[in-house]
Structure 1
Amino acid sequence: MRIAGFEFSEGARFQAGASADAQAVGEHLELLRQQQHGELTPEDVLNDAANPNSPLHSFFEWSDTEAARQYRLSQARGLIRAVVAVYVQDDKPAVRAKAYVHINEPGAPHYRETGHAMSQKKTRDLVLQRAWREFQQWKARYRDLKEFSELFTVAEEVERKLLKKQ
């Protein structure tokens, strides 16, 4: 099998000013992989991208101050996502669940306590839409693995039921 071309994956997000030329990026990454005897590492990519003439250069923040800030924001997002709340009710076993969910409201993305977010129609719809998109992306990423075919069949049944409700 050979590669016929390159595109960016659906929903891929890059920093402002990053090149939109997926073909050039893919070809350059393939060249780097070949130069590294078939293996490509993030270190290889970063080293190459440090050259301002590299087609990969625009995908990185080169201000160390801003890069450090962005990295710390990424760490903060990871910390928020890592927290699990233990919910209790009388006469029921404790339930563990994500403490916070991401609400991607236009112009004001933020996190909310999961129970609160799911109790409000607007935020519940946003959370469920995001979950469905992420599941569809996961399904597309692994659709060629026959080991998951039964799961995909069940997912298609659920999708049909959801569409009927709408």
Structure 2
Amino acid sequence: MKIAGYEFSEGARFQSGAQADAKAVGKHLEKLRKQACGELTPVDVVNDARAANSPLHTFFEWDDGEAAEQYRLSQARGLIRAVVAVYVSEDKPAVRTKAFVHINEAGAPHYRDAAHAMSLASTRTAVLQSAWRELQAWRKKYADLKEFSDLFATIDTLPIKRAA
């Protein structure tokens, strides 16, 4: 099979000022992959992108102070997502669940206590819609794997899709 072209995935986000030309980026990444005997690595991509004339250059923050701050923010998001709350009661076994969920409110994205967020209609809807979009993106990513066909059929029966 031959590649007919390149596009960015749905919902892909890049830093401000990135010259998002999927065709140029895809071709350039393929060139880098071939130069590296078929194995493309993030190190190869960053090293190439250092050159101001690389089509990948604008996708990266080159101010080291700003890049460090962005990396710390990424680490903070990972830390928040990693925390699990353990709920206990006398008559039931302990239940582990995400402690915080992401609420993507326009202009003010933030995390909230998961139990509280799920108890309010507006934030519950936002969390469920986000989860549905993530599930659909995962499904799209693995649509060609027949091993998941039964799972995809089950997903199609979920009532949440109508709310999302």
Match of 1:58 in 2: 58
User: What is the alpha-carbon distance in structure 2 between the residues aligned to residue 156 and residue 129 of structure 1?
Assistant: 15
Q: Deviations over 1:50-81 (max 9, x none)?
A: 00000000000000000000000000000000
User: What is the alpha-carbon distance in structure 1 between the residues aligned to residue 66 and residue 100 of structure 2?
Assistant: 26
Match of 2:113 in 1: 113
Amino acid paired to 1:116: H
Match of 1:37 in 2: 37
User: What is the alpha-carbon distance in structure 2 between the residues aligned to residue 137 and residue 82 of structure 1?
Assistant: 21
Amino acid paired to 1:14: F
* CA-CA distance at 1:94 after TM superposition: 1.1
* CA-CA distance at 1:90 after TM superposition: 3.0
How many aligned positions are there? 164
Match of 2:102 in 1: 102
TM-score, reference length from structure 2: 0.96
Match of 2:155 in 1: 155
Partners of 2:132 and 2:161 within 8 A in 1 = no
- Runs of 4+ residues over 6 Å off in structure 1: none
* CA-CA distance at 1:132 after TM superposition: 0.2
Aligned to 1:88, what secondary structure does the other structure show?
strand
Q: Deviations over 1:17-74 (max 9, x none)?
A: 0012100000000111111111100000000000000000000000000000000000
In structure 1, runs of 5+ residues without a counterpart are none
Match of 1:70 in 2: 70
Residue identity (%): 68
Amino acid paired to 1:91: D
Match of 2:12 in 1: 12
Matched, 1:21 2:21: yes
